[in-house]
Amino acid sequence: MGTEITRERFRARDYARFRDRLNQGLAGLGRLLAEPGFGAGPATIGAELELFLVDRAARPLPRNQAVRAAAADPRITLELDRFNLELNTSPVPLAGQPFQALREELDLLLARVAGAARDQHGQVALIGILPTLSQADLDLGAITDAARYRALDRGLQRLRRGPSRIRISGEQPLELDAEHVALEGANTSLQVHLRVDPADFTRTYNAVQLATAPVLAVSGNSPAFLGHRLWEETRIALFKQAVDDRGGPGPRRRPSRSTFGTGWLRGGALELFTESVRLHEPVLPFAAEPSCHGLDELRLHQGTVWRWNRAIYDPDSGGHLRIEMRALPAGPTVTDMLANAAFLVGLTLWLARQDQRWTYALPFERADHGFYRAAQHGLAAELSWPAWRGEEVRTCSAASLVPELLALARDGLLGAGVDPAEAGRLLAVIAGRAAAGQTGAAWQRAALAATGSAEAMLARYLEHAATGRPVHTWPVPSPA
């Protein structure tokens, strides 16, 4: 969504013009993808990290514009709600020590935000969902004062013609209605970008889809929202429902704007862009002047269709494709997040090298089901996984599957030229977390039970996070 939005209200002719531009964009992207050598080049990796600003009482601090201005770094951008910011790292070659490069840049940016936040009597919180949020924090006034976000809110309201209906199961089920998109800002994530050669896109995208569930199961960090104990990664359910536009007339069978997918990919990246245009109405029909053959509009529209693994076209560096992996939560520490990213990228690369017959043996519906079960139950989730012998598919717990997959992820990273010591250090964090059974979500649940207070739990969480030690090593507070 890099296009600068300067309007908040749109007319019927704006939507018609924008749809025409989207069709032009699809045709233009098809021509680019057909060009010999388009998008070819070394694999790179980058990341976007969303974060919360909180005050000294661990409550949300709605001062993102002041903090961003004081930090004075173009890599720090505003996010949907006034207590959110996003850090954008530079792409780095996957070969070598990419995760160390990401660490150094994230540490630098986090230090700048933290320094600016201190001047506002605040601090940074890296966590999937801020447990101290109240419903009053998520009304219309929470939305960042920017035309883009006001237009996004109006665009979604136009399509659903009623409030968002949030229904999340769990230990303490949650039901509420919300008029505005501000609920989406209750979620923060680490979004990993992997540059992919167009010739390898289909197999790599399918590999990401399969790899996401076990990685998510061992990465949960969002167990509570509005005082309710819900999923291990509640963010997955909350985000999907907060941006759902299917409340108005039309078939409910149409997929959500935030979906895991509609099937294994067969037709390359263009198939995903085409689905986004055909299945989802525009919410930000802002036509660029001049437009690059509709590609600007296509990129803008793609930024409002939030698949958990999303295809990205970027015109930089002569034009290339990326896969944006959106399912991982923010926090608890930079080490934890980089370990999650290394596990996901490594397992993806290993899977992409395998014979793609597994996409016929394993029904996509089972992969889709596994993704949501991983979000709901974490390491206790039962997941379907190819057995790699004939067309066998087995079902096992994420707790037993994750340790098996670490060697495959290491092989995938080393095959891409990642430094063996770096790969080993990060995957050892995942191994330790799986062995201890202590994800960020598990620690939060135990700490909430011990302290009895979201504020007290979050204060302990922030103290431990400041040490930089991974979450599986954190002690759980003793009951008061």
Alpha helices in 119-167 (DSSP H): 147-160
Tokens encoding 75: 């890599």
Which residues 6+ apart lie within 8 Å of 124 measured at CB? 51, 52, 53, 54, 110, 113, 114, 117
**Which pairs count as long-range contacts for 260-263, CB under 8 Å and 24+ apart, including other chains?**
260/209, 260/307, 260/308, 260/309, 260/367, 260/368, 260/371, 260/372, 261/209, 261/307, 261/308, 261/309, 261/364, 261/368, 262/364, 263/364
Spatial distance between the Cα atoms of 86 and 79, rounded to a whole number of angstroms: 6
- Domain boundaries of the chain, sorted by first residue: 12-473
DSSP structure class, residue 166: E
Tokens encoding 144: 């960042």
pLDDT of 54 > 80? The answer is yes
pLDDT of 308 > 90? The answer is yes
Residue 6: what pLDDT? 85
Residue 70: what pLDDT? 98
| Higher pLDDT among residues 147 and 4, named by residue | 147
Spatial distance between the Cα atoms of 166 and 308, rounded to a whole number of angstroms: 19
Tokens encoding 382: 């039962």
335-375: per-residue pLDDT in tens?
999 999 999 999 999 999 999 999 999 999 999 999 999 99
Q: How far is CA 227 from each of CA 45, 57, 238, 286, rounded to the nearest angstrom?
A: 36, 16, 14, 38
Spatial distance between the Cα atoms of 115 and 104, rounded to a whole number of angstroms: 17
CB-CB contact of 309 with 212 (8 Å): yes
The 10 Å Cβ neighbour count of residue 60 is 24
Residue 229: what pLDDT? 96
Q: Tell which residue, 221, 244, 241, has the closest CA to residue 231.
A: 221
Q: Tell which residue, 316, 258, 263, has the closest CA to residue 283.
A: 258
Residue 1: what pLDDT? 47
b vs e for 305-326, b when ≥16 Cβ sit within 10 Å of the residue's Cβ?
bbbbbbbbbbeeeebbbbbbbb
CATH class of 12-473: alpha beta
What band does 253 get if pLDDT is binned at 50, 70 and 90? low
Q: Say whether 88 sits in a helix, a strand or coil.
A: strand
203 residue type, one letter: R
pLDDT of 294 > 80? The answer is no
pTM check: above 0.85: yes
Q: Say which residue the tokens 């001062």 belong to.
A: 63
Q: Say which residue the tokens 């961003």 belong to.
A: 68
79-90: per-residue pLDDT in tens?
999 999 999 999
- Lowest pLDDT segment from 71-75, 118-122, 176-180: 176-180
Q: Say which residue the tokens 């400041």 belong to.
A: 466
Spatial distance between the Cα atoms of 384 and 367, rounded to a whole number of angstroms: 7
Q: Strand 164-168 relative to strand 174-178: parallel, antiparallel, unpaired?
A: antiparallel
For the chain, percent of residues with pLDDT exceeding 90: 90
391-431: per-residue pLDDT in tens?
689 999 999 999 999 999 999 999 999 999 999 999 999 99
Spatial distance between the Cα atoms of 40 and 51, rounded to a whole number of angstroms: 33
| Higher pLDDT among residues 4 and 407, named by residue | 407
The gap from C-alpha 103 to its chain's centroid, in whole angstroms, comes to 18
pLDDT of 248 > 70? The answer is no
CA atoms lying within 13 Å on the CB side of residue 404:
11
Residue 391: what pLDDT? 62
Total residues found in the chain within this entry: 480
